């Protein structure tokens, strides 16, 4: 049963981005393409060969594979309801954050390895935004660890209970933080526009300008998996241990679909921020997470 969460994340990753695109199409008055079209595009890329510049080294060649592998390993830490992840240990959420950071590091170094000034600019922005989002995640998970007395993903989600207005407010703020972190980590609106073609304002897309074929397909699919991964963390807030697995699966799928729709709505109605406002927007998540932390201190009676 430990692999059930991994299987569900992989399945939902097949249509997650498609639902985002379909939602944006509906709100813009268009029919839109199939929800499986993004996966068809990725599959087409994976069947092609990759082209490498003579100025790049082996780092550029291995970076997409390490980036993809880091996402897979991080997913293996995510529990499913009352079931632990494939890997589960104390403070595994710290390992979760830094294994993703390893993949992001190689993605950034791979962009720098090309020698392109545009890709270096995008890599610098990607590193900055991830750096600013990191404190919010750790404060949030540390608050849950303080509230439950446990430090692993599975024990935290098994032990956490919501039964008061304060706890409902905490889970609402936590869901907001996770949604925005997911959008920042996947370079979506309002921080980045994946559809723009102006190199001066691109972040993630300008980093992968020299990637092609199978490598580019790995990077795109890793993005799908990361969205589904954060959706799984959100779903665990609603999957209490008392539910049977055949009840937990529909809840998991519904949360993932709602998450994708929310992302599509945000991208439909919010314009991209000016570049100098992105840092302020991302760092504001830390302030919200501090509110959760102070509230938890009050709840456990440790506020001095």
Quote the pLDDT of residue 121.
81
Q: Three-state SS string across 258-284, please?
A: HHHHHHHHHHHHCCCCCHHHHHHHHHH
Tokens 């935290």 belong to which residue?
A: 156
CA pair distance 25, 37, nearest whole angstrom: 13
pLDDT value of residue 75: 92
Number of structural domains in the chain: 1
- Is the pLDDT at 304 greater than 60? The verdict is no
Q: In this predicted structure, what is the pLDDT of residue 70?
A: 93
Please give the average per-residue pLDDT across 48-66, as a whole number. Answer: 86
Residues 215-272 have pLDDT tens digits of 889 988 998 899 899 988 888 887 766 556 667 788 888 888 999 898 888 888 887 7
DSSP 161-210: ---SHHHHHHHHHHHHHHHHHHHHHTT-TTT--TT---GGG-SHHHHTTT
What residues contact residue 82 under an 8 Å CB cut-off, 6+ apart? 158, 239, 240, 241, 243
Burial class (CB in 10 A: 0-12, 13-18, 19+), 271: exposed
**pLDDT tens digits, residue range 112-143?**
888 877 877 888 888 888 888 888 899 999 88
Q: Please report how many Cα atoms fall inside a 13 Å half-sphere around the Cα of residue 299, on the Cβ side.
A: 24
Examine residue 190 and say whether the peptide bond preceding it is cis (omega within 30 degrees of 0).
yes
| Residue 138 CB neighbour total at 10 angstroms | 14
Considering only residues 293 and 81, tell me which one the structure prediction assigns the higher pLDDT. 293
Residue 129 has a pLDDT of: 83
Model confidence over 162-195: pLDDT tens digits? 666 777 788 888 888 988 888 888 877 777 777 7
Span 273-281, mean pLDDT? Answer: 78
Residue 290, pLDDT > 60, answer yes
- Domain ranges, residue 184: 4-300
DSSP, res 84:
P
So what's the pLDDT on residue 148? 83
Res 293 pLDDT > 80: yes
198: left (phi over 0), alpha (psi -120 to 50) or beta: beta
Q: Which of 257, 274, 271 is nearest to 23 (CA)?
A: 257
For residue 199, is pLDDT > 70?
no
Give the pLDDT of residue 71: 93
Per-residue confidence at 102, pLDDT binned at 50, 70, 90?
very high
């Amino acid at each position: 049963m430990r692999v059930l969460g991994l299987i569900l994340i992989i399945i939902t990753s097949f249509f997650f981005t498609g639902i985002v695109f379909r939602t944006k199409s509906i709100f813009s008055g268009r029919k839109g393409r199939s929800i499986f079209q993004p996966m068809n595009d990725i599959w087409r890329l994976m069947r092609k060969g990759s082209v490498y510049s003579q100025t790049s080294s082996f780092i550029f060649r291995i970076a997409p594979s390490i980036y993809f592998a880091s996402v897979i390993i991080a997913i293996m830490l995510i529990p499913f309801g009352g079931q632990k992840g494939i890997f589960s240990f104390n403070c595994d959420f710290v390992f979760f954050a830094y294994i993703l950071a390893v993949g992001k590091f190689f993605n950034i170094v791979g962009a720098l390895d090309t020698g392109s000034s545009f890709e270096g600019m995008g890599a610098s922005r990607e590193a900055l935004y991830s750096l600013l989002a990191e404190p919010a995640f750790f404060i949030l998970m540390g608050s849950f660890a303080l509230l439950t007395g446990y430090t692993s993903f599975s024990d935290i989600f098994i032990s956490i209970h919501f039964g008061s207005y304060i706890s409902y407010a905490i889970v609402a703020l936590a869901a907001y933080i996770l949604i925005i972190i997911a959008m920042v980590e996947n370079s979506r609106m309002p921080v980045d526009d994946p559809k723009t073609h102006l190199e001066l304002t691109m972040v993630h897309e300008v980093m992968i300008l020299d990637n092609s074929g199978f490598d580019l397909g790995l990077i795109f699919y890793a993005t799908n998996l990361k969205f589904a991964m954060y959706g799984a963390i959100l779903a665990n807030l609603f999957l209490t241990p008392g539910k049977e697995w055949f009840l937990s699966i529909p809840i998991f799928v519904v949360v993932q679909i709602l998450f994708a729709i929310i992302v599509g709505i945000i991208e439909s109605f919010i314009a991209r921020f000016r570049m100098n406002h992105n840092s302020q927007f991302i760092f504001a998540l830390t302030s919200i997470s501090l509110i959760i932390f102070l509230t938890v201190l009050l709840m456990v009676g440790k506020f001095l």
